[in-house]
Structures are given as C-alpha cells and as structure tokens.
Amino acid sequence: MRIATTIAAAREHLAACARPVGFVPTMGALHAGHIALLAAARAACASVVASLFVNPMQFAPNEDFSRYPRDAQGDREQFERAGVDVLFAPDANEMYPPDFSTYVEVGSIGASFEGALRPAHFRGVATVVAKLLNVIAPDVLYLGQKDAQQTAVLRKLVADLAFNVRVEIVPTVREGDGVALSSRNQYLNERERSEAPSLHRALQTVESALRSGAAKETALERGASALSPLAVLDYLDVVDADTFAPSDGLKAPAYIIGAARFGTTRLIDNLRVER
Ligand code: PAF
C-alpha cells in the first residue's frame, strides 16, 4: 500500500493505478462498516484508493472534532489488510491551506434533519468530498447507507457539479443486536450501549406499522414509543430516498430515518423501504 500525505504524491500514485479506481473516503476509526465499503471496492475495481482525514470543516465548534477517535496506525493496518492500493492521508493544512476560501453549498437537501441540527455539517462534507474527488478522480465512489442523508447530498453534488464518478451505496453493517456500526459507538457507556438497539427497533416498528397499513403519523408514534425512555429522540421520519423530502413511505424508494441521543452521544440510523 502506498501512502500519500500530499495532493501531488496522491496524483502521482493515482497515475500508476489500473482503472477502474474505487474510492472510499473515511475519517478513520475503522470498523466493519468501512471494511464492507473497502471490500465492495476491492471486488469491483482494479484499484482501491481510500482517504483518511478527520475533516474539521464538518464539525461545529461544540461538536466532537477534538475527541473524535483517532488510531492512525491501527487504521493503516486495516486499510492494508483490506487490499487498499493507495491511502491518501493529508493533514488539515494540505486540504485547507490558510488562504482556503471556496466552499460547496448544498441547498435544501442538506437543510433538514442532520442539516437542521448540524447547520454547517453538509457544507463541510460536500466541500471535502468535492476536493477529494478532484484529487483522486475515481471511477466509483463508495458510501455507507448508515449516513443516508450524506449519501443523498453527495449524489446531488455529483449530479449538480457533473463529477465523472458513479456512486455506490453499501448497506449498513449491524451488531448482532441491531445497532448500526459507527465510530461514535465507542463513546457509549455500558448502560447507553444496552439501550442503543432501541433506535433500530423504533425504525423497524415504523416499517412494520406502515406495511400493515397504518397512517404515517400513527406509524411514527408507534416507532417513537419503541425507543428507550432514557434516549432523547431528535427526529423520526419517512423521507424520499433521493430528495430527503417528507414521504408517506408508500412510494419507492424511501428511508425511515431516526436520530436519538443516548447520554451525550447522538446515534443516527435508517431503513430503506423498497416497494
Ligand atoms: O462519512 C464520513 O466518514 C465523512 O463524512 C466523509 C464522507 C469521509 C467526509 O469527511
């Protein structure tokens, strides 16, 4: 595995890569969800490129940027084992030199749900991913379904700005009790971790209520009551999978989305509804 810490070195390594190139952007703290993305890229592409960059621009000042889990050495070993050909691991100065001043505004698709609770988040995600796509110029971009709104925002980025890349969404990997894998799960204490599966249960409850013919509002009420009373619900809704506009869940494809706080840790999750 070649490791590039500068844009120039990444481009040099990329020039030697066989096509198609599959690209998996990450912020490190790798778990089985990331490994599934890397495996999907490895299976379909001649070369696999990953990035490791904890992007300060997508964290608000009160969020967890400084304590976001970092394990550069462990991550590097996992990237290597997953068959990554080139790892792009820039520092913040390489991505955002002091005179950096150009940002990608994502519009209404990123204004609701995660975007409403984390106002500059998707601007930071779209800006860094646009820059990463320009550095790597991959043929396929692999994203995890767990961050469903992020996938919708980035699909729109690719379409609106005509990036020459195909976007592949890889299904969420879950623990045995249903909890979606996330680097932030390690913030949960034992009690919070034991309550965390209730977010997935809430989504499943909404899905089965909708499938049995309940109206959306009733289905959402039943879902909310499946959440642990110790958790604080940020939102639970059904949205169109492409636009993230509210949906009644009866038109395909949709996501049932939820976010809840367990102590100080926010978890998000979703189920895709195909009709
Ligand atoms: O999903 C993530 O880990 C990040 O938002 C991403 C896509 C790597 C951009 O920093």
How many angstroms separate the CA atoms of 194 and 224, rounded? 17
Residue nearest to atom 1 of ligand 1 (CA): 26
Catalytic residue positions?
34
**Going by CA atoms, what residue is nearest to atom 9 of ligand 1?**
125
| Ligand 1 pocket at CB < 6 A | 25-27, 55, 58, 125, 128-129, 147, 150
Give the position, in ligand 1's atom list, of the atom nearest the Cα of 58. 10
Helix intervals (H) in 82-231: 92-95, 114-117, 121-136, 148-160, 190-195, 197-211, 216-226
- Residue 241 Cα, ligand 1 centroid: separation in angstroms? 19
250: Cβ contacts below 8 Å, ≥ 6 apart: 210, 275
Prediction pTM value: 0.97
Per-residue pLDDT of the chain (275 residues; tens, 9 = 90+): 999 999 999 999 999 999 999 999 999 999 999 999 999 999 999 999 999 999 999 999 999 999 999 999 999 999 999 999 999 999 999 999 999 999 999 999 999 999 999 999 999 999 999 999 999 999 999 999 999 999 999 999 999 999 999 999 999 999 999 999 999 999 999 999 999 999 999 999 999 999 999 999 999 999 999 999 999 999 999 999 999 999 987 777 999 999 999 999 999 999 999 87
